Amino acid sequence: MTLLDTATQVVATTDFSSLAKLGGAIGAGLATIGAGIGIGNIGKAAMESIARQPEIAGDVRTNMILTAAFVEGVALLSVVVCLLAVVM
């Protein structure tokens, strides 16, 4: 029996659902961490721009909240997809 035959037999009998669950859990964690970092950078940039020009604070705040909502929406979607990989 060659090494290729042995590898083919192992792959054919292996259940990859546990790897899918691990991948989904890691993906959900990375999506959450990425969204947190992104929203932190948005807030940092907004505070710096408000500090430089206080008269445009309202416009900057509005754009900051809108952008943070978009980032959070994408992160939520990716977490749902990753958790579906865990459940399926």
Number of domains in the chain: 1
Give the residue among 58, 60, 39 at the shortest CA–CA distance from 48.
Answer: 60
Q: Is the pLDDT of residue 1 over 70?
A: no
Predicted pLDDT of residue 28: 86
Q: pTM of the entire structure?
A: 0.72
CATH of the domain at 42: 1.20.20.10
Cβ partners under 8 Å of residue 53, min gap 6: none
Cβ neighbors of 40 (< 8 A, separation 6 or more) are none
Q: Domain range spanning residue 75?
A: 34-88
CA distance linking residue 86 with residue 29, whole number of Å: 12
> Quick check: helix, strand or coil at residue 15?
coil
Residue 25 placed within a domain = no
CB 68 within 8 A of CB 39: yes
Confirm whether 29 is domain-assigned: no
Beta carbons of 27 and 75 less than 8 angstroms apart: no
The answer to whether residue 52 sits within a structural domain is: yes
**pLDDT digits 0-9 by tens, 36-52:** 999 999 999 999 999 99
